[in-house]
Every structure is written in structure tokens, then in C-alpha cells.
Amino acid sequence: MRRIILISLLVISLIFTNNAFAIDKYTINLSIEQVIAMAKANSLELAKKKAVLEQKEESRKDAYSVVEYLPTSPYYVREISGAYSQYIGADFNQRLAQKNKDFSNIVVTVDAKNKFYDVLNKKASLRLKELEYQKAQISLSQILAKKEVGMATELHEFQARTELAAAQTALKNAEAALEKAYYELNDLIGIPRESRPELLEPTGYDKIKVESMQAEINKVMLERPDAFAAKELVTVKAKLKEHASNYKIGELEESIAKLDYKDTKDKVERDVHSMYNDIVNLEKLIETQEESVKACKEALRNMVVQYELGMVTRLEVLSSETKLKEAENSLKQSLYKHDVAMSSFPYLAGMSSNSGTVNNTISASE
């Protein structure tokens, strides 16, 4: 008997130990900063950019070692020109690889924030659908009660049941959408898909402050790979022209590079101004939505008081709760969008996440 009791206690102990492990493993709390750090640590694209940078740095060193020991005899003009062209290209490629790596950090940050906020949005949407489902249930109950005393018809019952079925379907869809959002977030940060971390919602937000729009444009031109490449290629092509076997071709390539640079710079200027205006307009919308939330909270407070006095029904209270939840969800979505935009500004102006990365390089023959 004692042996049986000991075995039973051991089994119970193992069950609780395993459950405790599961809770520790799958119900962790994560801040947005932690999610960003995990996404960067798990990013294959970022790891690839780092490896490419290392390779370009080695290529630049090799090219420089050749230039360092070039002969000075005029008999080696072709070899000297080829070596200098090789080094100019390798130097550009190394600097471009550095910009690509730095830009990838911004891309991963924005992607992490988008997926983090997508989970929070889907959770909020699920809570709203739960309220709507409760409303549909109460509405059906009221219709059935009225039907018993001849105050509602079969048509009323049919309509109420149809609304309940629609609310139930919407609830299931919201649950599925939340699952999908969690899958995408978990894949990004490298944790099991079945994990359901509790995401810690950020509080407050800082409005955009730009002292000089030109300074923001200059940031893009210096740091974003496609803009950096367009700017630097003008100088690179001018240098390569001096070592080209056909000087006329070198001149034409330099002219094309200048036109590309002007086109890129004009587009960046338009896009940065446009993105700034979008953020300012979003901040105005947030102010309006904050007032709407305050009004809905006050309306709900009054409705609860009336309910306690028996002046309104539970269904009317739920309707007021639903309006408040809708207003809060709209405000949160705008705040999330604002935070992502602030992380993107000005570097992602006018483009989708990683479209600013430049993978092409310059070879010695160019």
C-alpha cells in the first residue's frame, strides 16, 4: 500500500512539474523591444548580410594589397589601370555591403513591430467579436421570451438565429486570424508555433519632430543602400573613367550615373515629404480618436448607472460596451501604425520594407 502511495505521489509530482515547465515555456511575457531583439537574432537575412559584408571586406583587402605593390614602369599601364579599377569596385562594394547590413536592421525592426502589433490587433478584434456574440445570444433569448407571450413571430426568431450564426462564424474567423498572427510572429522570433507569449502593450507615443526636412532627406541619401549607391556611383564612375580602355564609354557611364542620382534624389525628396505629412495627419486622427474613446467611456458609465436603476437592459449595456471597444480598437490601430511609421521614417519613405536593399556590385570590368 505504501509503495502504491509513493508511486501515485511521484506521478502527481511529475504532472505538476511538466505543467510548470509548459507554462514557463509557452506563456512568457514579451515586450516589443524583446521581440525586436529576438527577430534580429533569428534573422537569416541579417546573418546573410553580415556574411556578405565580411566577404566584401576581404575582397577589398585583396584588391588593396595588389594596388599597394604595383610597379611604376609605363610598360605596365594596362595592369596598373586594371588593378586600380578592381580596387575602386571592391571599395564601393564593401561600403555598399555595410549599408545593406545596417538597412536590414531597420527592415527587421519594422517587420517585428508589424507582426507584434498584428497579434495585438487580432486579440482586440477577437474580444470585440466575443462581445458581438454575447449580444446575439441575449438578443435571441429576448426574442424567444417575447415569442412565448405573442410579442414576436417566427420571422423574428429566424432573424435572431441568423444573426447569432453570423456572430459565431465571425468569432471563429477571429480566433483563426489570431492563430495565424501568432504563427507568423513566432516564426519571426524563433519560438515554437504553439507558444502563446503574452505581449506587453506599449504605452503612450511621441509625436514626430523634424527640425530640418533637408537633414532627413540627407539621412536617406547617405544611409539607404539604393540612394547611397546612386550617389556614390557618380564618383565611382568618374574614377573608373580614368582607367577605362574606352574613355568615351566611361564618360557615358558617368553621365548615366548622374542622371540616375538626380532621379533618385528627386524621388527621395518627394517621398520623405509625403511620409512626414502622412504621419502628421495620423497624429491628428489619433487626437480625434482619443476624444471618441472618452465620449464612449462616459456613455458606457451612464448606461451602467441606468442599468443598475433598471432603466435599460443588459443588451443595451453590451451595445455601449461594443461601441467603446470599437473606438478603443481604432485608436490602438492608429497608435500601432504611428509607431511603425516612426521606426520607418525617413528611411522607408516611398518603399516597401526591403526594397531599398541593393544586391548588385561593381566588377573590375565596369
Q: Which pLDDT score, from 0 to 100, does residue 12 have?
A: 36
Q: Which pLDDT score, from 0 to 100, does residue 71 have?
A: 59
Q: What are phi and psi of 227, to 5 degrees?
A: -70, -40
* Interacting residues of 193 by C-beta distance below 8 A, sequence separation 6+: 182, 183, 186, 187
Q: Which pLDDT score, from 0 to 100, does residue 254 have?
A: 94
pLDDT band at 355 (very low <50, low <70, confident <90, very high): low
- Complete domains list, the chain, with CATH: 31-57+77-356 (1.20.1600.10)
Q: Find where cell 447569432 sits.
A: 164
**DSSP secondary structure code for residue 198 in this structure:** E
Residues β-bridged to residue 30: 199
H/E stretch holding 30 reads strand 29-30
126-136, pLDDT tens digit by residue? Answer: 999 999 999 99
Residues β-bridged to residue 198: 29
| Half-sphere exposure of residue 74: CA atoms within 13 angstroms, side-chain side | 0
pLDDT band at 14 (very low <50, low <70, confident <90, very high): very low
- Contact indicator for 270, 216 with CB cutoff of 8 Å: no
| Half-sphere exposure of residue 59: CA atoms within 13 angstroms, side-chain side | 21
Q: Read off the pTM.
A: 0.84
pLDDT band at 314 (very low <50, low <70, confident <90, very high): very high
- The widest CA-to-CA distance across the chain, in whole angstroms, is 112
Question: At residue 295, does pLDDT exceed 80?
Answer: yes
Q: What are phi and psi of 150, to 5 degrees?
A: 80, 20
- Give dist(CA 117, CA 202) in Å, integer: 10
- Contact indicator for 134, 318 with CB cutoff of 8 Å: yes
Q: Which pLDDT score, from 0 to 100, does residue 342 have?
A: 95
Give rounded-to-5 percent helix, strand, coil for the chain: 80, 0, 20
Question: At residue 196, does pLDDT exceed 80?
Answer: yes
202-249, pLDDT tens digit by residue? Answer: 988 899 999 999 999 999 999 999 999 999 999 999 988 887 778 899
H/E stretch holding 92 reads helix 77-148
Q: Which pLDDT score, from 0 to 100, does residue 74 have?
A: 56
